[in-house]
Amino acid sequence: MNDNTARGRISVHPRGFGFFVVEGTTPISAFITPPDLNPFLDGDVVSARLSSDGSGRFVATELALVSRPRAEVFGSVALRGGKRYLRIDRSVANTDWPLDTTNELAEGTHVVAEVSGDRLVVARLVPEGADLGVERCIARHGLRAVFADTLERAAEEAAARPIPMERRRDLRSVPTVTIDAASTRDIDDALSAYPADTSGALRVLVSIADVDVFVPERSALDREARLRGTSVYLAGRVLPMLPEAISSRAASLVEGEDRPALTAELRIDPEGRITSVDVYESLVRSRARLTYDAVDTFLAEGHAEGVPHAVESTLRWLRTAVARLGAVRAARGGVNLAREEARIELDARTGEPTAVEAHHETPAHRLVERLMVAANEAVADWLVARGLPGIYRVHDEPSPERVRTLAQLAHNFGIEAGFGPRLSARSLAAFEAQIAGARFEPAIRTVLGQALGPARYTPDPGAHFGLGAPLYLHFTSPIRRYADLVVHRILKRYLEGHRDYEDIRAGLAVLAADCDRSSQNAGKAEAERHRMLVARLYAGRLGEEVSGNIVALKPFGLLVQIAGTGAMGSIAMEVLPGGPFRTDLAAQALIGAGVRYAVGDRITATVAAVHEELGRIDLVPAG
């Protein structure tokens, strides 16, 4: 048996044990027994002694705390022996901790406590009637839920300042529209288009809220925005990156109001090529606040009650531009990956989940997405052509091993991909064409997203494989993403005549890494909140029979995407008939006694139990 000391992070399992995760090119995960885990919280950085029995399994002992990044925990008060303890969220701690409080808090009171070393001090009481799932999710992921009063005041003062007009082009006479969900309040982007000229070329103006006007670099508002990194959209609640005085009022491109913007003007020829790009500061006024539903109706029928006559021509030319861009994008390859696997509907009055369905892209969504992608690519090209720094969004080409795995997964679904040793953007597009409209399309898109892996922020320009884009960055959402705000500042600095960027280059690597962490953490929180609501919905469907496709093999068993909803359920290995099982990674399957469960297989199961706190639906094979 080999022993060595290493540094890593604590990962707490809700069943009471944990893992010591050593990060590196080959991550190592070592088991932690419950008694050894008691003094630690999920995410703690610790040193530990690793012991291996030679079979690849490790145990971590002699754990010592190095640092504790977690600032708050969520839980409920427990009374024992006249003392108060906090029953901490079991995904964060495996035991109750003593609670310092001068208040006589009743047992069961839900609180958020501040972590001070190995002590817990009540930070705030959770209001009666609050959604405990949201509060748990916020604390679990260390999200910043409220703004200090000083920041709220700073935001109000910033919103009241006059808009600087130097260098701004006045676009208020140009018919401009915004297209968003009906519930959206932080409107980043507006669209307008000039009719085609005699050569057939048309100009599309993508105007993006100039947040920098209200959030000066290195100000208190800027520091808070960087700490948050992104707005977080938890179903039923939004945690904005910026106070609402800016995010949903002063900076938001609301209908009928003058707003400062950065505009990317794209000239698109009849072949769909972007032949020129102009970036400038502007002043815009939205003529109509359109919803996706209204635009879908207009695109299908040529008119819609929610689309004013004055902007109908604008929408028609935008549709022309998107059709041209789409033709070029189809030729170069790439794939559309839905951001959500499923969409949950909430009751407007109670906030309770009422339905869940698989995500479907509509023509209106596609119109906005294509134009935003085109603007992001154009700005990336614009920066690189001038030798300017930036925070780029890079998606690496999958390794040969990932390509082989994806080909096997496709085969399991009944699709013969034939990728060869290297996956190209065009072969990826051809693969997407094979799955379009299939019954299992939502499930295989989930598998595809897992196989391709995430994109990342980096100061080094590079290709975005999933989009088939030679260069890409985020420019179109500065109200809700700090990376976009950084790009805006670089653009404005150039437009102001500055050419020295060494001070910016020096800090971009750290800044990109911070944006990446914030984005990943927000994504985890949003996905977890979504799973919690889906579990709450399925709590009323115990005993119901469902069918779906296996989308992943897990150490505990199988992950199944339920057909027609996009919801996920899990089947424990011990309830699968035909065990014991071995995992065949090449075939992406569990192999048992005369039985095989592979990713892609259709399976029928019964809803056996739900665990809302964990966002988990337990299934058992039907029959």
* Distance separating alpha carbons of residues 240 and 477, to the nearest angstrom: 12
Residue 485 in tokens: 């705000």
Residue 273 exposure: Cα atoms within 13 Å on the Cβ side: 3
Parallel, antiparallel, or unpaired: how do β-strands 616-621 and 568-572 relate?
parallel
* Distance separating alpha carbons of residues 157 and 377, to the nearest angstrom: 34
Quick count: other Cβ atoms within 10 Å of Cβ 282?
Answer: 24
Strands across the sheet containing 596-598: 582-584, 589-591, 596-598
Collapsing DSSP states into helix, strand and coil, what is residue 617?
A: strand
Domains of the chain: 5-67 (2.40.50.140), 72-130 (2.40.50), 163-395+459-530 (no CATH), 400-453 (no CATH), 542-621 (2.40.50.140)
Determine the pLDDT at residue 315.
97
What element of type H or E holds 413?
A: helix 400-413
The answer for residues whose C-beta is within 8 angstroms of residue 436's C-beta and 6 or more apart is none
With residues binned 3-state (H G I as helix, E B as strand, rest as coil), the percentages for the chain, rounded to 5, are 30, 30, 35
Determine the pLDDT at residue 114.
93
Residue 356 identity: V
List pLDDT tens digits, range 15-38.
899 999 987 656 688 999 999 999
* Distance separating alpha carbons of residues 226 and 537, to the nearest angstrom: 35
Weakly modelled stretches of the chain, pLDDT under 50 = 1, 339-340
Eight-class DSSP state of 612: G
pTM value is 0.91
Determine the pLDDT at residue 254.
97
Residue 239 exposure: Cα atoms within 13 Å on the Cβ side: 26
Name beta bridge partners: 603: 548
Determine the pLDDT at residue 55.
65
Determine the pLDDT at residue 1.
45
Residue showing tokens 């935003």:
372
User: Which of 96, 95, 94, 97 is closest to 17 using CA atoms?
Assistant: 94
- CA 73 vs CA 91, 92, 143, 195, 241: distances in Å: 10, 8, 11, 56, 21
- Tell me the CA end-to-end span of the chain in Å, nearest whole number: 45
Q: How far is CA 84 from the centre of its chain?
A: 37
Residue showing tokens 């140009």:
174
Quick count: other Cβ atoms within 10 Å of Cβ 293?
Answer: 14
Is residue 426 within 8 A of residue 333, CB to CB? The reply is: yes
* Distance separating alpha carbons of residues 589 and 577, to the nearest angstrom: 14
Determine the pLDDT at residue 439.
82
Determine the pLDDT at residue 375.
98
Determine the pLDDT at residue 337.
62
Task: Phi first, then psi: give them for residue 510, nearest 5 degrees.
Answer: -65, -40
Collapsing DSSP states into helix, strand and coil, what is residue 48?
A: strand
Determine the pLDDT at residue 348.
80
* Distance separating alpha carbons of residues 345 and 6, to the nearest angstrom: 46
User: Which of 419, 413, 420 is closest to 431 using CA atoms?
Assistant: 419
* Distance separating alpha carbons of residues 59 and 29, to the nearest angstrom: 8
CA quadruple 279, 265, 327, 432: dihedral positive or negative? positive
Is residue 445 within 8 A of residue 350, CB to CB? The reply is: no
